[in-house]
Amino acid sequence: MKAPSMQDVTALIDGDILVYRIGFSVDDPEEEKFAISRMGHFIDNLLSVEGVEAYFGFITGKTNYRQDIATEVTYKGNRAKARKPVHYDTLREYLTSKWGFELVEGQEADDAIGIAVYDLPEDRACVMSIDKDLDMLRGWHYNFVKQELYYVKEEDGIRNFYTQILTGDRVDNIPGLKGIGIKKATKILQDCEGEQQLFDQVLSAYDNDIDKLTERARLLWIRRQEKQLWKPPSNSQ
C-alpha cells in the first residue's frame, strides 16, 4: 500500500512511551524545565517535520481492567519496584495540559489507541510509538525512533497477537509457554491461514487448556471497541 501524506491521516500518539523515554533522558531533579522543554521540542518536531495536522495522544491512568482479570500472576507485577523517571508526574501533566493528551482510566493508552484506529477509516490512522505490542493493530505505524513508517495488514496483526499468546510478554508479566520464543512461535504458526487455524494451533500448544489461553489472551489483547474482552473465534468450541 502506498504511504499516505501525514496531512491526510490522524496520528495516534503513545504518551506512555514519551514520558519514559524523555523522562529518563533528563533524570536530574534540578532539570524539570529542561525535561518539559525537551518533551515539547520532541512533540513539536514529530508533528511539524512529519506534517501531521490532526492527532490524539493518550496516557494510561491509574485503573486498568487487566488488574482484575489476572489470576495467574499479578499483571505488571514485575514493575512494582521499578523506578519511574524523576519528572514522571510533571511530564504527564504537561502532555495533558499543553498538548491535550487524554488520561485514560479503566484501560490502557494502548486500548484507547486501538479503539481510535478502528473508529477511523483503515488507511487514515497512524499509530506513533515504538511499542511492538501495537503491531497487532491494522493500519499505518510510525516508529519515531527509527523514523520508520510501515503498514500492518489486518491478518498480520492477528498473527502477531497469536504469536504473543505463545511467547507471552515479559515486560507486562504475562506468561507464555515454556521454551517458546519468537522463532519457535513463528514456526508453529507458519502454515496457518486465517484466525481459526491460528487459534486451533495455539490451543493445541496449550494442551487444550482454554481457560489459561483465554486469560493470557485477554491480558494481551488491545481493544478495538469500548469494554471489549477478547473471545475465541466463533467457530471454536
Instruction: Please check whether residue 235 lies inside any domain of the structure.
Output: no
Instruction: Please check whether residue 140 lies inside any domain of the structure.
Output: yes
Q: What residues make up the domain containing 159?
A: 155-220
The reply to whether 63 and 160 lie within a common domain is: no
Single-letter amino acid, residue 228: Q
Instruction: Please check whether residue 53 lies inside any domain of the structure.
Output: yes
- Is residue 237 pLDDT above 60, yes or no? no
Confidence of residue 48 (pLDDT cuts 50, 70, 90): confident
As a residue count, the chain comes to 237
Domain count, the chain: 2
The whole-angstrom separation of Cα 216 and Cα 205 is 14
The reply to whether 21 and 131 lie within a common domain is: yes
The reply to whether 202 and 147 lie within a common domain is: no
pLDDT of residue 194: 96
Q: Find, among 213, 216, 218, 174, the residue nearest to 79 by Cα.
A: 174
Contact 176, 166 (CB under 8 A): yes
The reply to whether 18 and 101 lie within a common domain is: yes
Please tell me the chain's helix, strand, coil percentages from 3-state DSSP, rounded to the nearest 5. 50, 15, 35
Domain final position from 101, 119, 153: 153
The reply to whether 18 and 131 lie within a common domain is: yes
pLDDT of residue 236: 62
Domain harbouring 214, CATH code: 1.10.150.20
Strand residue runs (E) in the chain: 10-14, 54-64, 102-106, 125-128, 139-143, 148-152
- Is residue 7 pLDDT above 90, yes or no? no
Instruction: Please check whether residue 103 lies inside any domain of the structure.
Output: yes
Mean pLDDT value across the chain? 94
pLDDT digits (tens, 9 = 90+) for 174-219: 999 999 999 999 999 999 999 999 999 999 999 999 999 999 999 9
pLDDT digits (tens, 9 = 90+) for 99-149: 999 999 999 999 999 999 999 998 899 999 999 999 999 999 999 999 999
Instruction: Please check whether residue 227 lies inside any domain of the structure.
Output: no
User: pTM higher than 0.85, yes or no?
Assistant: yes
